[in-house]
Structure 1
């Protein structure tokens, strides 16, 4: 039997860990204050995470381990990456770059700002590494990430991310031929972008650097991964499609690598591909969880489930979407209890109700109770569910309860403003404006209702989605179109539905709404086009959605 170079490398590293673990190496007692993660690496499958050749590793004996650690880091396998870097520290406590590796493993620039304990750990890591001998390039790497941890008590997260990106830019300009320097600079650049910049200038620059590298190194996990993150926007998604279809094969044993292509597939409405890659991701995450904590579930599985539910709903497949929710409710333990889990736990029941326009169900949903998850830490995620409850109560004419939910949303917005989380505060502000619009509609104030809903849609168009989510709970463009249709303005509604579909291709409700608006406008030909698109989207799906039955009846009636 023949093995690929990357497989042999991975097997060699695994053998190294088995041998080293037999020696019962004891960690340096001087490093205990760093709270480093230790333990055997848990690598599902044969440990393939792509090909990396990092020049700034330390001793020859630990070089293969260092490359594996970098590969794990590039696929955001943060826990195992830290453990791998710590194994190097325990073998070679003077390896300054191993401390850099741990500092990078706890720096999650694309996600939520780190907690105090993480920042304190980063400062301690930098203090240890500063005293160790190192090359000029190692000094640059450490100086760069050190700028993120430096003065964290007084300098905000975004400013520190910008400082890190600038340091990596300086390093990149001096070492432009070094692949790893270029890759880490591109990630730092992408992480420093703000959601309100709709030119995507930093994302485009990062993507260009990575695109050039990918042609030279097509099996590098970080290049592929960060291309997807750079192009995870409707306006840019087509630029990342070919890479998205490659990444899962580059790092087949990474749950995150299996999931990431679905970010591009979701932007382009490629639901079958999104479903396939997230099923693979969930399977890989289950394998990892079983090796870490049998009976528990890892956040990567939950994250994949959120994208699965969204894709199933766009296919009209309520059966499989609700199965995911029932499965989630069976979980006794999920680790770690973080913002990704909170988002998905709130979003899944919310989407099931509102995508099906089951307003009674929406009005009654409650936050799932998950062991270890402290909902008070997640006002944005809670807002998703209360937003749906408000919409549900409005549609079943319970305006008093809708007002209570609106008041809750306003309190969440204030809390996020206090936390200086402008992006999430703005997301809740869009929800507030939407609820105000629909309440005015129910009260008969039609002009004000449309004005408020138009404002909400405009606000949403000027900000990008958060990387953790496949999309808004309900797009404001689509809700504006629904409102215009309810006001018997089908031509205006059709314009709004078509804009929504341009921004979010192949949304089930977007296609159906456009078909109805065209039909009511007397444009039977365009209505048929949208109904046929809906039927194509839901082909071979055993669905109880009435919209599919209506589409079939319309096509049958209008086919000569």
Structure 2
């Protein structure tokens, strides 16, 4: 599709909008129908019927539209994009001259903290903005909202997603400054800051600015879903996560009818190693997602269910509960149909079984791990596919199948080339880290210890230079933990202990790092530190139900010391 063809749908209906003699005439049914809006009743699956928090958004569409408009924004703030679009569509059907309802449609197709919009979503958003701009009966403030998201959709086919997120951020900053009493403008500005934050910025400049805005508003509007939700995203980083714990503990109570609101607190629980809270959060979220799929008539499984499963399996593994983790892996393997097909579901399909075999050092199973099959093509998701090939690389290397490991490395190079050509620099770097780590273990198994350690340290440093993707619970296997494992295998126990300590700072209460830190401390002659790590391990694990042999080792040591 060429440049003109991409823009043609917008240009075709823009004259229709502007041809009317009366500029205040509502958009025609024909123009509105071109948006192909989602419609229907709002689906609610939480413990409380249709409770999504409290929003009071001032707009000029009239008192009759306000209740629905507020509900649509509540849903929007909890990233319930399909449901929000339904309610904005209801406002449009009843009040077609409501410019802000079209703003809402554009916002529903933006989803700034997930994957970039598809081409169809970009076209829908651009069309909605064109309609909103054609409507004259809107306030100057409302025009500012429309202009801000309009800048994101402008030139979408020639400018990249991140650049357009920066445009949105700057426009929201200006709107916020112009209307300092508009809390919604401040909240959406904070969201824009999070969307425009660079994963390479370890000072978290934009996130801290967003946090200061949101915290100032939280005391005034404790039941606002956007404030609570964006606080969680804003502080979803090592060293900052503790600041979001009150919001994480409150969000599910504020918006219990949202599957995403039930899940989102687990981002902070994961960051802080609060595995019981993490598990409860995602069990509720998965159940709500299953309910949603049934009520929505989805054939198969909703993507939010798999997203919750990813976090759930991660938490089970950190508690050493292989039985429950294995049950979820088996359940995932039974899934063949998911909606909608997107990067989240591809990630879950790749990461869940990979985590299970890698966290348990099941190297033979890792070497044979296959790409799960469902209703999507792995060719569309090179980063996610790389996770499985990385798992196979490590598995083959650890059992001495060097040729097989090198073949998997070659596949990783191919996938990185694809990501480079797509100019997907973040995910290309993720695969580059996997290549270095995989190559390090191949060298190590071949006896080239010096170069293996050098390569593994480079991989760990590279990984520490960027943040994890905000959708994921964590790296499939932290590179610095792999470095620590290698150091311990070469009897560099103090250096290994330092590396495990570094992992635990970023990933508190990781099962393998706690256990191996205890072993490294013991081998270094530091029984006091070994005591500390083994006690911590037993405190966070399911001792009675865990089949992990490490539990027995830790208990035996503590009995003797």
TM-score normalised according to structure 1 size: 0.93
Aligned 8 A contact 1:74 1:225 in 2: yes
1:534 equivalenced with 2:533 (yes/no): no
The residue number in structure 2 matching 1:291 is 295
The residue number in structure 2 matching 1:377 is 380
For structure 2, the residue ranges without an aligned partner over 5 or more in a row are: 1-27
Q: Quick one: which of 476, 481, 506 aligns to 1:478?
A: 481
Aligned 8 A contact 2:273 2:507 in 1: yes
The residue number in structure 1 matching 2:223 is 219
Cα separation, 2, equivalents of 1:403 and 1:349:
21
Q: Deviations over 1:290-349 (max 9, x none)?
A: 101266221111111100000000000001111111122222421111111100110000
Aligned 8 A contact 1:278 1:308 in 2: yes
Q: Deviations over 1:343-383 (max 9, x none)?
A: 01100000000000000111111111112x22111100111
The residue number in structure 2 matching 1:308 is 312
Task: State the secondary structure of the residue aligned to 1:216.
Answer: coil
**More deviation, 122-131/478-487:** 122-131
Q: Quick one: which of 50, 57, 66 aligns to 2:53?
A: 50
Q: Quick one: which of 188, 191, 195 aligns to 1:187?
A: 191
The 1:91/1:541 distance shift into structure 2, 3 A limit, reads farther
Aligned 8 A contact 2:386 2:415 in 1: yes
Structural RMSD (CA): 1.2
Cα separation, 1, equivalents of 2:503 and 2:133:
52
TM-score normalised according to structure 2 size: 0.93
Q: Quick one: which of 397, 419, 427 aligns to 1:416?
A: 419
Cα separation, 2, equivalents of 1:433 and 1:217:
47
The residue number in structure 2 matching 1:128 is 131
For structure 1, the residue ranges without an aligned partner over 5 or more in a row are: 1-26
Aligned 8 A contact 1:46 1:253 in 2: yes
The residue number in structure 2 matching 1:8 is none
Paired residues for 1:154-233 under 5 Å: 154-233=158-237
Shift of 1:62: 1.5
Cα separation, 2, equivalents of 1:41 and 1:535:
44
**More deviation, 388-397/526-535:** 526-535
The residue number in structure 2 matching 1:366 is 370
Aligned 8 A contact 1:278 1:304 in 2: yes
Cα separation, 2, equivalents of 1:270 and 1:227:
18
The 1:90/1:232 distance shift into structure 2, 3 A limit, reads same
Q: Deviations over 1:91-139 (max 9, x none)?
A: 1111110000000001011122222111111111111111112111110
Shift of 1:58: 1.1
Task: State the secondary structure of the residue aligned to 1:543.
Answer: coil
Aligned 8 A contact 2:306 2:348 in 1: yes
The residue number in structure 1 matching 2:325 is 321
Q: Deviations over 1:498-553 (max 9, x none)?
A: 11111111000000110110111111221122111111111454111110111111
Aligned 8 A contact 2:252 2:261 in 1: yes
1:467 equivalenced with 2:470 (yes/no): yes
Q: Deviations over 1:203-255 (max 9, x none)?
A: 01001100110011100000000000000001211111111111111101100
1:62 equivalenced with 2:65 (yes/no): yes
Q: Deviations over 1:55-112 (max 9, x none)?
A: 0251221110000000000000000000110011111111110000000001011122
The alignment of Structure 1 onto Structure 2 pairs a total of residues equal to 531
Task: State the secondary structure of the residue aligned to 2:219.
Answer: helix
Cα separation, 2, equivalents of 1:511 and 1:500:
9
Aligned 8 A contact 1:317 1:541 in 2: no
